[in-house]
Amino acid sequence: MSADAASGPTAGDPCAEMHLLVQAELDGELDTASAAALAAHVAGCERCATLQSELGAQSANLRVGLTRHAAPASLRSAIAAQQPRRPMRWGGRWNHAASFGAGMALAAGIAAFAVLPSHGSVDADSVAAHIRALQPGHLMDVESTDRHTVKPWFNGRLDYAPPVRDFAAQGFPLIGGRLDYLAGRPVAVLIYRRDKHLIDLFIWPGVRSGADATIQGYNVIAWSQDGMNFRAVSDLNTHEMADFAKLVQSPSG
């Protein structure tokens, strides 16, 4: 890491808060608005872009060759009781230097204890986003079974219009949508239900290679179609996930 990037934020540094956001992004702690602010800043700031790249590379290096071990139930319960996870809010009451140091320690501790398997980063990130969304109050920004309500909600919030369809007749009803952050940008997420299972369908422009995978017990189906990338994530079984993907890929009537 360069000396400039390693020094961390200093008093009066206009990039100090962005350094914190870079750390929070690596820890999976950013809400959508903060993630979008970070992406916009990094696009025009070489210093913060370098920090993001170097810390991302360090995180990736920690994953190489390591295996994942499940935390004991007692440890998970203790952590949940003492420090429930929430989207981070950034304001003047935070001590920037202390928060940056705490974020570094937390990132190192998590990397040493549990490491994701070596799947594509976008697939792993989509699973992480799906897990975060399952926390109370995080699942959806717009709750509706009407695609004519969900689709317009994204207008002005994204620079593209995601295709929104309902498959209630086939047993996969649309129940809402939200903004999330994936592949280095804000993306649309459509939420579907199959019995008691929830399916997150991530959609963003471009063509990105991907393969179906199972990560942390969640099934991921990846494809590109009509200039859009799709990632469907759920704990639903692979057979029904394949049925859902076929519905999404079918021509709209």
Name the residue ranges covered by the structural domains of the chain: 3-113, 121-249
For residue 155, give every residue at least 6 positions away whose Cβ sits within 8 Å of its Cβ, in sequence order, or none.
161
Compute the distance between CA of residue 161 and CA of residue 205 in angstroms, rounded to an integer: 9
What average pLDDT does range 106-124 have in this prediction?
50
Give the rounded percent of residues in the chain with a pLDDT score beyond 70.
Answer: 65
Lowest mean pLDDT across 71-75, 90-94, 152-156: 90-94
So what's the pLDDT on residue 39? Answer: 75
Residue 214 pairs with which residues in a beta bridge? 219
Compute the distance between CA of residue 141 and CA of residue 118 in angstroms, rounded to an integer: 31
Asked: is 121-249 a CATH 3.30.200.100 domain? The reply is yes
Indicate the pTM of the whole model.
0.56
What average pLDDT does range 141-152 have in this prediction?
93
Residue 77 buriedness (CB in 10 A; 0-12 / 13-18 / 19+): exposed
- pLDDT higher than 70, residue 180: yes
Compute the distance between CA of residue 209 and CA of residue 46 in angstroms, rounded to an integer: 28
Compute the distance between CA of residue 16 and CA of residue 23 in angstroms, rounded to an integer: 11
What average pLDDT does range 145-159 have in this prediction?
93
Residue 16, token pair as written in the block: 């100090």
For residue 175, give every residue at least 6 positions away whose Cβ sits within 8 Å of its Cβ, in sequence order, or none.
140, 143, 144, 145, 191, 192, 193, 198
Residue 116, token pair as written in the block: 């994701």
So what's the pLDDT on residue 136? Answer: 77
- pLDDT higher than 80, residue 56: no
Alpha helix segments (H runs only) across the chain:
3-6, 16-26, 32-44, 46-63, 73-82, 96-113, 121-133, 147-153, 238-249
So what's the pLDDT on residue 236? Answer: 95
Compute the distance between CA of residue 103 and CA of residue 118 in angstroms, rounded to an integer: 23
- pLDDT higher than 60, residue 113: no
**Average pLDDT over the chain, rounded to an integer:** 76
So what's the pLDDT on residue 134? Answer: 87
Each residue of 5-40: pLDDT tens digit? Answer: 444 555 557 687 787 787 777 666 666 667 777 777
What average pLDDT does range 204-216 have in this prediction?
84
The dihedral of CA 64, 66, 69, 75: what is its sign?
negative
Residue 205, token pair as written in the block: 């422009």
* Residue 202 contacts residue 179 (beta carbons within 8 Å): no
Each residue of 182-200: pLDDT tens digit? Answer: 888 899 999 999 999 999 9
Of 235, 142, 135, residue with least CA distance to 188: 142
Give the pLDDT band (50/70/90) at residue 92. Answer: very low
